[in-house]
Chain A
Amino acid sequence: MLDRIHPREIDWVLIGLLLVNSAIGLVLVQSASHFLHGGFAVRQAVWILASLILLFLLLTVDYKILMGFVPYIYVFLFLVLLVILVLGKAERGAKSWVGLAFMGGQPSELAKVVVILMLARVFAEFKSRYVTAAATVLSGAVTAGPLLLIALQPDLGTALSIAPLWLGSLVLAGLNRRTLVIILIAVVVLSFFSWQFLLKDYQKTRLKTIINPLQDPRGSGYHVLQSKIAIGSGGVVGKGFMKGSQSQLRFLPARHTDFIFSVLGEEFGFLGVCVVLGAYFLLLARIFRAVGQTRDRAGLYIVFLCGCMVTVPFMVNVLMIIGLFPVTGVPIPLLSYGGSSLLSTYLAVGLVLNVKLRRFAYV
């Protein structure tokens, strides 16, 4: 099972970009939370180290061997989410945080990595030119299981960031016009159904708020409004590290998690935003470039979906904080504070490295 690793085959540039973005996140978390108790930046640093160790551990296991274990991991994850859901009823509020004794974080985040592996396994032997109905349903079911359990917690943000993985796999597998139409219809019907029966009032309000964030500046539009004020008032060069009035005087909500990028915009201005967008772009580019350096179908799916896993929440978040996307609790991988999000991102990048590392391996 264990493999010989050639250190020079490891994509050190990708690891470097990963650490650069993590470091940027660390700086922003410090600025956003230094006035709070809890030592968030220190905890974030510890999580980075731990995640980096787990990343290297993951490299030692050939992803093809991992593929064999995936169904068991997947079932295990499913059971964990189920237990959380049932036990969580007793706790207050969001149920996705299990006690440290259990898993030390948010299993919902790790579910993304497991779903990626499971989708890769589903499509590993799928060789049709376009995706079939059977494959769509099967991959859909694989995704829907954890997604629904997480959505019921309720953690709509994380749940919705799982769905794009399924869509990504379908795009990769090839969508012909007919499937596309069917999926579009399904999405419309599902949205309607959700709006009528599933979505809670506060979630509906958030959606409505995109259209007019000023309709209730103290209510649901408040967060986005304050975020836009923070970003806009940063101007070209920003107000300086730890000098943003919006973040330091706490007008900005969830500064160190969902609105970390607003802190960046306020304190480092448009230039800072461009630098960080650039760093993130390079990271994503490095991941997507690895798609072309895969050996087999499973590996290609893994790399592509890991790329999607980092890209989608990032896009959603940076659009959300300027009012171009509904407010969903989606943190930015690497930049936002949050251990399990960090860990799952490192594991995803680990998978990419793993696949890339073994692109020349013989069977």
Chain B
Amino acid sequence: MCADRIYEDLSPLRKRSRIVWLAIEIAFAGLVFFYWKIQVLDYRKYWAQAEANRTREIALPAPRGVLTDRTGKILLADNRASFKASFIRENTKDFEGSIREAGRLLDLDPAIIRERIEKYRSLPAFRSIVVKDELSLKEVTLIEARRGERPELIVETEPKRLYPFGAFAAHALGYLQELTPDELRTIYKGRRAGDMVGKSGVEATYENDLVGREGQLVEVVDSIGRKRSERENVEPKPSPGLRLTLDFDLQAKAQDLLKGKEGAVVVLSPQTGEILALASSPTFDPNKFINRFTPEEWVGLIASPDKPLLNRAVQGLYSPGSTFKIVMATGGLESGAITAATSFFCGGKIEIYGHEFSCMGSHGALTLPDAIRFSCNIFFYNVGRRMGIETIADYARRMGLGRKTGIDIPGEATGLVPTPEWKKKTQKAVWFPGETISVAIGQGPLQVTPLQIAAVTAVVANRGRAIIPHFLAGETAPAGTDADPGLSAANVEQVVEGMWRSVNAGGSGQGAQVQGFEVCGKTGSTQTMSREQADRISAQSKQRKTHSWFTGFAPRNDPQIVVSVLIEFGGLGGATAAPVAKELFGIYKDKYARSHPSAGN
């Protein structure tokens, strides 16, 4: 019994213990499997994550390529250094606390910061999001001093666009704006939130040539974001910049002449299509767009009734008025509706299709050149009646109206060349012959941009060859055009003769006459005015005047320059627009005439 008490039967307990031990053995086998899965099978995935953990990629932005005038010497768009504060969501555990602290350091409402960050919610958490721009030195110090405790808040240096001449050629150069989240997902995939991209003008068209290549710095960091070492450093490669065709003096003068007016000026070379000046008034200062987060100014620019952002030279649609007579004259001769010998009698008024149409004066019997010289309506009524609307539309399109010129800035307007088909489609109405008579003198539904008028003028100056207007200088610039208007030089010469007389023989364009520089041109005044424009004029208690046109080229036999001017509500073209053109022709002559011996004659 005694032995029994001492050596009791413990075998059931030992058996249970062996079962538990068996379970532990199985668990160990399981452990080996789990660790094998993580360390051997999924090794690459975790290795990549560990690398991402310990390295930090810092983008080194390349300064945006500069834009220069045609000499390549005057910088129209430059860069300067600026500091911005960015937020990295991944580096904070207490998002709200971080935002509050950021707000305190940057003197910003935390709600604004949250809104900024929310805007880019869809981006990965390690990407930095700009929360404040143009930091003061004090703000930079405040943030840098907290780099250890606030790894989510960083200071980034950024080259900023600077337009040294403010509003100079603003509509041609364009402006930069912050990428929208949509653009970031679609067209600018490689870019980063908060990047500035060209939104209009040359800045937009040549965005990819101007951004250059971003550099990259790879740093090894610890868990709180402190830098331990550098691994790779790829230097940023700035874009070499672009040389534009703009002529500083002509552009400055054009803007000066437009000051206080609403209108547009286009100066280009008829030989190459190079744009020497393109001005639209009123204008704006593109430097204003460089700073993020000043929506008030932006809204102000958009909402302003005189639309400073509208590029009147390429987007503004106007009735061409009598400048259309250039097209009528060319088309009339080309189509055979008239010849150089055809003459019509102007008695001040004429009755066509049961309506009475009038002329500015009573010009008697005249042939084409004098009809252009005096801008005789009755002559062109007759030409229009003979040609018919389809033929008119055909020549208008051939010479460059009703389609884009192909200028290298975005947003160009197409304009409108009306046809019976167009009227049927848009207004469900039949074309009346009387409307053809209106179109013949550039009224009616016709719509053109000042740039199109300049392009038409270039066709005449070139005696039939069309060009594509452009800003980019150098050999890469597009020259010539795919659509040859197919005009005979002899016919065009008749039109040139008329335009010469208009300026140099006491015609309607004599206001543009320049001594020693054979200017050929055509004026125009347009009565049409949209309802809202009329309302605006009344509201501003301005006199209800017509839009004023002048378009011309010089010198007659070796055309080097085309000038087209539109002044809104400027009155008669000869009185307002022609003198503006005269000034520009004068500048060009003084600057370049000596280098072109054939000029000046």
Contacts and interface: CB of A to CB of B under 8 A. Distances in A.
A170 B5 CA distance: 22
Interface in A254-291: 265, 269-270, 273-274, 277, 281, 284-285, 288, 291
Dominant SS among interface residues on chain A: helix
Nearest to B49: A229
B92 interface: yes
Interface string B24-66: 1101100110111011101101110111011000000000000
A233 B47 contact: yes
Contacts of A222: 93
Interface in B215-238: 220-224, 228
B10 interface: yes
Given A251-B223, A277-B28, A296-B8, A265 B35 contact: yes
A304 B10 CA distance: 13
Given A232-B39, A235-B43, A245-B53, A311 B24 contact: yes
A250 B221 CA distance: 10
Interface in A293-314: 294-297, 300, 304, 307-308, 311
B6 A296 contact: yes
A232 B14 contact: no
Contacts of B1: none
Given A172-B13, A250-B222, A297-B13, A284 B24 contact: yes
Contacts of A295: 6-7
A324 B34 contact: yes
B40 A235 contact: yes
Contacts of A362: 6
Interface in A42-70: none
Given A171-B16, A270-B40, A249 B221 contact: yes
Contacts of B28: 277, 281
Given A171-B16, A288-B17, A311-B24, A250 B10 contact: no
Contact of B35 (A172, A219, A231, A291): A231
Interface string A117-131: 000000000010100
Given A171-B20, A296-B6, A218 B46 contact: no
Contacts of B90: 218
A20 to B, nearest CB: 17
Contacts of A236: 39-40, 43
B35 A322 contact: yes
Interface string A193-211: 0000000000000000000
Given A129-B12, A171-B20, A250-B222, A277 B31 contact: yes
A127 B8 CA distance: 10
Interface in A226-252: 226, 228-236, 245-246, 249-251
B34 A291 contact: no
B298 interface: no
A273 B35 contact: yes
Contacts of A226: 53
A168 interface: yes
A292 interface: yes
Interface in A94-138: 127, 129
A174 B75 CA distance: 93
B12 A291 contact: no
A318 interface: yes
B21 interface: yes
Contact of B53 (A235, A251, A288): A251
Contacts of A292: 14, 17-18
How large, as a class, is the contact surface on chain B? 35 or more
Nearest to A303: B17
Interface centre among A231, A232, A288, A307 (most CB of B within 10 A): A232
B20 A174 contact: no
A294 B13 CA distance: 11
A301 B363 CA distance: 130
Nearest to A311: B24
Contacts, number: 137
Dominant SS among interface residues on chain B: helix
A363 B6 contact: yes
Contact of B93 (A173, A219, A270, A291): A219
A174 B43 contact: no
Contact of B92 (A174, A218, A273, A288): A218
A315 interface: yes
B39 A231 contact: yes
Nearest to A253: B223
Contacts of B35: 231, 265, 270, 273-274, 277, 322
A304 B23 CA distance: 14
Given A245-B54, A249-B221, A296-B6, A233 B12 contact: no
A27 B20 CA distance: 31
Nearest to B50: A233
A319 B220 CA distance: 30
Interface string B491-504: 00000000000000
B8 A233 contact: no
A88 to B, nearest CB: 27
A189 to B, nearest CB: 25
Interface centre among B32, B39, B51 (most CB of A within 10 A): B39
Contact of A168 (B20, B54, B93, B223): B20
Contacts of A235: 39-40, 43, 47
A145 to B, nearest CB: 25
A270 B39 contact: yes
Given A231-B39, A233-B43, A296-B8, A245 B14 contact: no
A307 B45 CA distance: 37
A66 B12 CA distance: 25
A274 B31 CA distance: 9
B17 A172 contact: yes
Interface in B372-398: none
Interface centre among A249, A296, A297, A362 (most CB of B within 10 A): A249
A285 B20 CA distance: 11
Interface in B114-132: none
Nearest to B55: A245
B20 A249 contact: no
Contact of B224 (A168, A219, A250): A250
B46 A291 contact: no
Nearest to A362: B6
A233 B34 contact: no
A174 B11 CA distance: 12
Contacts of B92: 218
B53 A246 contact: yes
A86 B32 CA distance: 44
Contact of A269 (B18, B31, B39, B93): B39
5 contacts: A129-B12, A218-B92, A231-B39, A245-B51, A300-B10
Given A218-B90, A246-B53, 15 more contacts: A174-B16, A218-B92, A219-B93, A232-B49, A233-B51, A236-B43, A249-B228, A251-B53, A270-B39, A277-B28, A291-B18, A304-B13, A315-B31, A322-B34, A363-B6
Q: Nearest 5 pairs between A and B by C-beta?
A: A232-B46, A233-B50, A270-B39, A249-B222, A291-B17
